[in-house]
């Protein structure tokens, strides 16, 4: 999908070479690199290039992913891939949503963020614990062209957290049809069903 708001056009293909992952989150960079393995790309993170993190002023996952991808492509002169993802809890009106990382505070303490969600649910009278993860990917080139893709996985929240794999809210999320949390799953198993895996399969089918 084109993020430029113009008439539909052929999706631009990504050529082998360097690709900036517009993230300073080591866990996310590792997960994305694994999903791109074997594609002829030399993956380098925005953190390794010492690129600043732009302020996420968008009102949707797609807008924030595009903002980050454009900034990294512009500053590095290389194609850049950005991910904006988050957890949406139905009983909390979709929160934390695009503010998922910010619920962890300045130190991005997801233990604190998971406890905050649980406290808000506990304050309600036996609310449903349905939730979903969303992942928006934006692939930007230095000339301003952008393609974007969006994936989703539905599930339920558990408490207390289970597992020390993955990152973010993974230890409290059980994907639909499974018994393990994302925090208990090995990375390949998680990637098969995750929101990020869904978005990447769309991207790979389109740009390679």
Going by the annotation, the residues of the binding site are: 23-28, 55, 84-85, 167-170, 190, 195-196
- Provide the annotated binding site for substrate: 23-28, 85, 167-170, 190, 195-196
Closest CA to 53 of 30, 23, 21: 23
CA 158 to centroid of chain Cα atoms:
21
Cα–Cα distance measured from residue 162 to residue 147, given in angstroms and rounded to the nearest whole number? 35
**What radius of gyration do the chain's Cα atoms show?**
17
160 preceded by cis ω (within 30°)?
yes
List residues forming the annotated binding site for Mg(2+).
55, 84
**Could you confirm whether 50 is annotated as catalytic?**
no
CB 69 within 8 A of CB 140: yes
Q: Tell me how far apart the alpha carbons of residues 34 and 13 are, in angstroms, rounded to a whole number.
A: 20
- Is residue 35 within 8 Å of residue 190, measured between CB atoms? no
SS3 171: helix
Determine which one of 50, 83, 84, 186 is catalytic.
84
Residues recognised as catalytic:
84
């Amino acid at each position: 999908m084109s993020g430029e708001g113009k008439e539909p056009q052929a999706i631009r293909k990504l050529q082998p070479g360097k690709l900036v992952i517009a993230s300073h989150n080591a866990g996310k960079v590792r997960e994305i690199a694994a999903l791109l393995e074997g594609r002829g790309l030399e993956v380098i993170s925005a953190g390794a290039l010492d690129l600043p993190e732009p302020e996420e002023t968008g009102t949707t996952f797609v807008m924030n992913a595009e903002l980050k991808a454009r900034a990294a492509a512009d500053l590095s002169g290389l194609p850049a891939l950005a991910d904006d993802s988050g957890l949406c809890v139905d009983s909390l009106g979709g929160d934390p949503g695009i503010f998922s990382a910010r619920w962890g505070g300045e130190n991005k303490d997801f233990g604190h963020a998971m406890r905050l969600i649980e406290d808000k649910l506990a304050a309600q009278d036996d609310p449903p614990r349905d939730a979903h993860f969303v992942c928006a990917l934006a692939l930007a080139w230095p000339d301003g062209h952008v393609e974007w893709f969006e994936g989703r996985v539905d599930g339920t929240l558990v408490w207390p957290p289970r597992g020390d794999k993955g990152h973010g809210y993974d230890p409290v999320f059980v994907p639909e049809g499974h018994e393990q949390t994302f925090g208990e799953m090995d990375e390949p198993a998680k990637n098969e069903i995750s929101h990020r895996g869904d978005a990447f399969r769309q991207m790979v089918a389109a740009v390679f």
